[in-house]
Amino acid sequence: MPAERLYLLKIRLLGIEPDIWRTFVVPADITLDCLHDVIQLVMGWEDDHLHEFVVGKNRFSGAPESEDDDQDHRLCDLVQRKGGKLHYVYDFGDYWEHELKVMDTNYADANLPSDIHCLDGARACPPEDIGGVPGYYHFCEAVTDPENEDHDDYLEWAGEYDSEKFDIAAVNRGLTKYARDPR
């Protein structure tokens, strides 16, 4: 059963065309550390690296030594209006930049199974540790070209990978499990 107030968010991975994106709902009062967990699930990341949220000139991190810990801040306190944006960076080595846009600050759907739910999306998340945007493009070329010198190594390393595949049912199974037991 959905919470009192929900935010509808759209996240987009920057620097890659065609876009890799998701729309999803979360409670308005979700903490940034929990929002990080949800982003990991909706995007398909493995949560192996540090992250940071940027809201205006403010930076919030999940790093243990961070002065401005993301568990102390709630989304609704940082972004109050439809159209508001925040940035999320995952993996400071590969430096995956995401833009989160608030599509609605009072989302309502009586048929929503949970207050954390993915509604839509497109394309698969890049594999972890691929080398950022340039590495991702090289990876995509290599896995589709058997003549590429990296073809076999990438297939062995990453297994089957389809850049166009987005499994919303699997994402929502993960979100349902997370909503039952966040940590």
pLDDT one-digit tens code per residue, 2-14: 547 999 999 999 9
Q: If you average pLDDT over every residue of the chain, what do you get?
A: 92
**pLDDT tens digits, 24-77:** 999 999 999 999 999 999 999 999 999 999 999 999 987 666 555 667 799 999
CATH superfamily of 6-123+167-180: MM3350-like (3.10.290.30)
pTM above 0.85, yes or no: yes
Question: Domain coordinates of the chain in residue numbers?
Answer: 6-123+167-180, 124-165
Residue 158: pLDDT band with limits 50, 70, 90: confident
Quick one: tokens of 77? 């306190």
| Residue-level pLDDT at 31 | 94
90 pLDDT higher than 90: yes
Residue with tokens 């192996």: 48
| Residue-level pLDDT at 67 | 57
| Residue-level pLDDT at 65 | 60
Q: Answer for the pair 100, 22: CB distance below 8 angstroms, yes or no.
A: no
DSSP β-ladder status, 20-27 and 6-13: antiparallel
The span from the CA of 108 to the CA of 97, in Å, is: 29
- Per the model's pLDDT, the better-predicted residue between 82 and 159 turns out to be 82
Range 125-149 average pLDDT = 95
Question: Coil, strand, or helix at residue 15?
Answer: coil
Among 66-70, 117-121, 130-134, which stretch is predicted with the lowest mean pLDDT? Answer: 66-70
Residue 1: pLDDT band with limits 50, 70, 90: very low
Instruction: Name the CA dihedral angle for 44, 48, 53, 54, rounded to a multiple of 10 degrees.
Output: -100
